[in-house]
C-alpha cells in the first residue's frame, strides 16, 4: 500500500522540488494590509489568529503548485492559546485542500500514555467517550524529540502505522548549541546523534513504502554538512527534514550531503527567507497582498532552483 512517504517522494519528483515552506507567522512582521481589523478587535487573540490564517492562505496560494509540503511551526500558533490552535488547524485543512502535505513542527515528546495522547491528537483520532473517534490536528507528519527514550517515540510510530502518517525525530538540530547533548560521545565512541539515528533507522524498517523510503524520518540541520554525510550512511532510507537553510545561514552547497544520489531522502525547509522575503524590498506599510505573494513565490522558486542546480552538479542518479 502506498505510504505517506511515497506521496511525499512522488510530489518531490513531480514538482522537481525537495523544498518545504515553513509557516511561522510573527505578528510584527506581517504586512499592515492583513492587520486592518486588529485595532478595533475585542478578542485580540482571536484577531491575531484570523490574521495568521489569512496570511497563511496567501502563502499557500503562492506556492502550492511549486512545493510538495508546508511546515507550520506550532509554537507561533500555540502561544496565542485556543485561538492560535484554531488558526493552526484551519491552516492544516486549507493546505491539504490545496494538495500540500503538512508537516507539523511541534517537537513533542513524553512517555507511555502521555506520548500516546499527543500521537492520537496530532496523527490519529481522539476518543470522545461516547464511541465517537475524531481526528483533531490530522497532520501528515509531526516532529518528535527523543530525549525521553524509545518509549517517547513508539506511540507516534504506532499511530503512523494505524493512520498512514509519518514522523521526523530530532537527530542533529541546526542550532549551535545542539552540540551540548547531541554531540556527546558515548563509551563506544559514538555521538548521541548517531545512537538516535541507528534507532530511527531500525524503527523505520517497519514503515518502508513503494519508493523504498520509510515514513519515519529524521531532523538533520543544514548547518552541519559533515554530520549529515555520516548520518546519510546510517539512515540510508530515512527522509531528512533539513532546517537551517536561508535565514540560519546554510546554502545549497551545505545541504547536498543530506540527499541520496537519487535526489531524494531530504526535504529542505525555509521559513523567514520566504514568508518574510518582502522585507528586503518593502515596508510593513507599502507591502500589498499582490506584492507580498509575488516575493513569496519568487523566493520559493529561487530556493528550489538553487538547490536543484547544486544537486545536478553533484548527484549522478537524480530522479528529477
Q: Can you tell me which of 65, 147, 309, 313 binds its own copies, judged by CB under 8 A?
A: 147
Instruction: Name the one range near its own copies by CB under 8 A: 9-17, 74-82, 226-234, 290-298.
Output: 74-82
Instruction: Determine the interface stretch with its own copies among 10-18, 70-78, 206-214, 304-312 (rule: CB under 8 A).
Output: 70-78
205 binds its own copies (CB under 8 A): no
Q: Is 184 in the site for its own copies (CB under 8 A)?
A: yes
Does residue 162 bind its own copies (CB under 8 A)?
no
- Interface stretch with its own copies, choices 8-16, 168-176, 274-282, 302-310 (CB under 8 A): 168-176
Q: Which three cell numbers stand for residue 28?
A: 510584527
Asked if 107 is an active-site residue, the reply is yes
Question: How many chain residues interact with its own copies (CB under 8 A)?
Answer: 77
Site for its own copies contains 115 (CB under 8 A): yes
Q: Report CA-CA distances (Å) from 35 to 41, 182, 197, 284.
A: 10, 41, 43, 10
318 is a contact residue toward its own copies (CB under 8 A):
no
* 52 vs 295 by CB, closer to its own copies: 52
Which of residues 109, 164, 214, 257 is near its own copies by CB under 8 A? 109
Between 65 and 162, name the residue whose CB sits nearer to its own copies: 162
How far is it, in rounded angstroms, from Cα 85 to Cα 111? 23
Q: Does 157 sit near its own copies (CB under 8 A)?
A: no
Q: Which is nearer to its own copies, 100 or 115 (CB)?
A: 115
- 137 scored as a contact of its own copies (CB under 8 A): yes
Q: Which of residues 11-50 bind its own copies (CB under 8 A)?
A: 24, 26-28, 30, 35, 38-39, 44-45, 47-48
Q: Quick check: 170 binds its own copies (CB under 8 A)?
A: yes
Q: SS3 for the chain, per residue?
A: CCCHHHHHHHHHHHHCCCEEEEECCCHHHCCHHHHCCCCCCCCHHHHHHHHHHHHHHHHHHHHCCCCCEEEEEHHHHHCCHHHHHHHHHHHHHHHHHCCCEEEEEEEECCCHHHHHHHHHHHCCEEECCCCCEEECCCCCEEEECCCCCHHHCHHHHHHHHHHCCEEEEEEECCCHHHHHHHCCECCCCCEHHHHHHHHHHHHHHHHECCCCCEEEEEEECCCCHHHHHHHHHHCCCEEEEECCEHHHCECHHHHHHHCCCCCCCEEEEECHHHHCHHHHCCCCCCCCHHHHHHHHHHHHHHHHHHHHHHHHHHCCCCCC
According to CB under 8 A, which residues from 242 to 281 bind its own copies? Answer: none
The answer to whether residues 173 and 219 touch, using CB atoms and an 8 Å cutoff, is yes
Given 71, 107, 116, 120, the catalytic residue: 107
| Closer residue to its own copies (CB): 88 or 259 | 88
* Least Cβ distance, residue 315 to its own copies (angstroms): 29
Which one, 86 or 304, has the nearer CB to its own copies? 86
- The catalytic residues are 107
Amino acid at each position: 500500500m502506498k505510504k505517506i512517504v511515497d506521496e511525499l517522494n512522488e510530489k518531490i519528483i513531480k514538482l522537481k522540488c525537495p523544498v518545504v515552506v515553513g509557516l511561522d507567522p510573527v505578528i510584527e512582521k506581517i504586512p499592515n494590509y492583513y492587520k486592518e481589523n486588529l485595532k478595533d478587535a475585542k478578542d485580540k487573540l482571536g484577531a491575531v489568529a484570523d490574521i495568521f490564517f489569512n496570511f497563511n492562505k496567501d502563502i499557500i496560494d503562492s506556492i502550492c503548485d511549486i512545493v510538495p509540503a508546508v511546515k507550520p511551526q506550532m509554537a507561533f500558533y500555540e502561544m496565542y492559546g485556543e485561538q492560535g490552535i484554531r488558526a493552526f488547524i484551519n491552516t492544516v485543512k486549507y493546505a491539504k485542500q490545496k494538495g500540500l502535505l503538512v508537516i507539523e513542527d511541534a517537537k513533542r515528546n513524553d512517555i507511555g500514555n502521555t506520548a500516546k495522547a499527543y500521537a492520537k491528537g496530532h496523527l490519529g483520532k481522539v476518543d470522545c467517550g461516547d464511541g465517537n473517534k475524531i481526528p483533531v490536528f490530522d497532520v501528515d507528519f509531526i516532529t518528535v524529540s527523543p530525549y525521553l527514550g524509545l518509549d517517547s517515540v513508539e506511540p507516534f510510530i504506532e499511530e503512523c502505522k494505524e493512520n498512514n502518517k509519518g514522523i521526523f525525530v530530532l537527530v542533529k538540530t541546526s542550532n549551535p548549541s545542539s552540540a551540548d547533548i547531541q554531540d556527546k560521545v558515548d563509551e563506544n565512541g559514538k555521538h548521541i546523534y548517531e545512537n538516535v539515528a541507528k534507532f530511527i533507522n531500525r524503527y523505520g524498517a517497519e514503515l518502508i513504502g513503494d519508493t523504498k523510503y520509510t515514513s519515519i524520518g529524521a531532523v538533520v540541520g543544514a548547518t552541519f554538512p559533515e554530520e549529515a554525510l555520516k548520518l546519510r550512511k546510517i539512515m540510508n532510507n530515512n527522509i531528512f527534514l533539513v532546517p537551517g537553510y536561508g535565514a540560519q545561514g546554510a546554502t545549497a552547497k551545505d545541504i547536498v550531503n543530506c540527499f541520496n544520489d537519487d535526489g531524494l531522502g531530504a526535504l529542505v525547509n525555509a521559513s523567514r527567507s520566504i514568508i518574510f522575503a518582502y522585507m528586503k524590498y518593502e515596508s510593513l506599510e507599502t507591502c500589498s497582498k499582490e506584492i507580498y505573494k509575488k516575493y513569496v513565490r519568487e523566493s520559493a522558486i529561487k530556493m528550489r532552483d538553487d538547490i536543484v542546480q547544486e544537486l545536478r552538479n553533484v548527484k549522478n542518479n537524480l530522479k528529477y
